[in-house]
Structure 1
Amino acid sequence: MSATLDPPAPRPPRRVHDAERGKDDELAELFRKAQADSRKGADIGKQLLKSRLHA
């Protein structure tokens, strides 16, 4: 039996580019906001981890 893996999802910058190329400004903005929220969450996670490692 062989396992199959789904291809990785497109990265957010690629999604923004694709939406812009398709002239879908609303979708492009949604992807930009999602990307910013993801960065913000990653930064919060790094800070939390850092504070726990130094506690």
Structure 2
Amino acid sequence: MNNWLEDFAYRIEIKWWMFAVAGFTAVLIVLATLSFQAIRVVLTNPVKSLRSE
């Protein structure tokens, strides 16, 4: 990939920490979403859900 990037006038080096930051950010977003959904489910009243069905 570095050989391909060398053909460009403006180029950057790909470092290992860029992938680590992207992976960590993705995991953080997933955990935040799952936590939000889990808390929302726990706080809902099951009686209201059963009445609406």
Indicate whether the TM-score tops 0.5: yes
Identity in percent:
12
* Structure 1 match to 2:16: 26
Report 1:5-20 matches (<5 A).
Answer: none
> Structure 1 stretches (4+) deviating beyond 4 angstroms?
none
* Alignment size in residue pairs: 34
TM-score (norm 1): 0.54
RMSD: 1.5
Specify every segment of 5 or more residues in structure 1 that has no aligned partner in the other structure, as ranges: 1-20
TM-score (norm 2): 0.56
Whole-angstrom CA distance in 1 between matches of 2:14 and 2:21: 11
